């Protein structure tokens, strides 16, 4: 993953089971995404070039699928957060 900036919002939340997950992803999807996002852990050494290219393509497609799911949920979550913060307080 890219290095987070110190002022960047955190993209992880704690789910109902107390596990740290990416917004919009389950724990298993978060683990899968983090694995696919780590180039050192993606493919075993010694694969023939053709097999390596095929697996890289599959991994890239799955990474993108998970990223898009997370990004959409993140954008929705941020919009909801902003809307909550902008609601005027009513005084009686």
pLDDT > 90 fraction of the chain, expressed in percent and rounded = 47
Q: Is residue 79 in some structural domain? A: yes
Residue 68 pLDDT grade (very low, low, confident, very high; cuts 50, 70, 90): very high
Looking at the domain assignment, is residue 2 inside a domain? no
Q: Is residue 4 part of a domain?
A: no
Residue 70 lies in a domain: yes
Which residue range forms the structural domain that includes residue 68?
12-86
Per-residue confidence band for 1, with pLDDT thresholds at 50, 70 and 90: very low
Would 91 be classed as within a structural domain?
Answer: no
Q: State the pLDDT confidence band at 9, using cuts at 50, 70 and 90.
A: low
Q: Is residue 7 part of a domain?
A: no
What total of structural domains would you count in the chain? 1
Q: How confident is the model at residue 92 (pLDDT cuts 50, 70, 90)?
A: low
Could you please report the per-residue DSSP string of the chain? -PPPPTTSPP-EEE-TTS-EEETT--HHHHHHHHHHH-GGGSS-TT--HHHHHHHHHHHHHHHHHHHHHHHHHHHHHHHHHHHHHHSPPP--
């Amino acid at each position: 993953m890219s290095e987070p900036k110190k002022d960047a919002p955190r993209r992880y939340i704690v789910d109902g089971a107390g596990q740290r997950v990416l917004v919009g992803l389950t724990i298993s999807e978060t683990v899968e995404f983090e694995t696919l996002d780590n180039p050192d852990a993606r493919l075993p050494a010694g694969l023939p070039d053709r097999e390596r290219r095929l697996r890289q393509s599959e991994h890239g497609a799955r990474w993108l699928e998970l990223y898009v799911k997370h990004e959409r949920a993140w954008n929705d979550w941020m919009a909801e957060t902003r809307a909550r913060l902008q609601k005027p307080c009513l005084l009686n």
